[in-house]
Amino acid sequence: MSKKIVILLHGVGSNGADLRGLGDFWEAAMPDVTFVSPDAPHRCDMGSGYQWFSVNGVTDENRVSRIAEARESFDATLQKILRENQVTAGDQLILVGFSQGSIMSLDALVRNALPLAGVVAFSGRLASPEPFHPAAGVAALLIHGQSDPVIPWTESQHAQQVLEGLGVEVTAVFEPGVPHTISAEGVTLAADFIQQRFSL
């Protein structure tokens, strides 16, 4: 029986514990799935917590290079988790990200960095450097509050258009009145997506 693992990736200035409760909640309903919520590899340079890349002075123009520079430490963090859980070919992996964690999750998807069954991206954006070459058969669930003051929900709308153009199976949910957060409805939708992709 193949292993099924979900890695939860937090936003900038947060830590793995922030999403660990969500993983525990899902694990109660999906006991055959392993949920892991690591700290990002770098201390946040604008306060407490950790970051996948710095947002100090970030712009639409320089964000792309920061994502590219973050890939080595991001990949090392995830590969360590896969080794610790003895994940091998034939096992299944889903990334669940929030905010900056979503940016890195979508980056992993479009560069086919990992053997992904799917990605859940809460309140994120696709800002990766091209070219894009996602794996065949991968799917994405994009969830974004339409009252998000941090990352506009239209960023997920744009990501949907790009990913669908690449042949990715995309489900996008835009939530009226929801700010930069993970809603209860989003938690349910993500759980359904995980169960569907893992054929539970």
| CATH number for the domain harbouring residue 50 | 3.40.50.1820
pLDDT at 13: 96
pLDDT by residue (tens digit) across 3-13? 999 999 999 99
Phi, psi of 8 (to 5 degrees): -100, 130
pLDDT at 91: 93
Helix or strand holding residue 186 (H, E): helix 184-197
pLDDT exceeding 70 applies to what percent of the chain? 100
Residues 6+ apart with CB under 8 A from 1: none
Q: Give the position of tokens 């799935």.
A: 33
pLDDT by residue (tens digit) across 83-140? 999 999 889 999 999 999 999 999 999 999 999 999 999 999 999 999 999 999 999 9
For the cut 90, the answer to whether the pLDDT of residue 2 exceeds it is: no
Closest CA to 14 of 184, 194, 182, 149: 182
Please state, rounded to an integer, the average pLDDT across all residues of the chain. Answer: 96
Find the mean pLDDT for residues 58-74. 96
The residue segments making up the domain with residue 83 are: 4-197
Residue 18 identity: D
For the cut 80, the answer to whether the pLDDT of residue 1 exceeds it is: no
How far from chain centre, in Å, is Cα 85? 19
Q: Give the position of tokens 């939860």.
A: 8
Find the mean pLDDT for residues 172-195. 98
Find the mean pLDDT for residues 173-197. 98
Closest CA to 66 of 107, 29, 99: 107
Q: Omega before 134 cis (within 30°)?
A: no
Q: How many domains does the chain have?
A: 1
Measured distance CA(110)–CA(116) in Å, rounded: 11
Entry pTM:
0.97
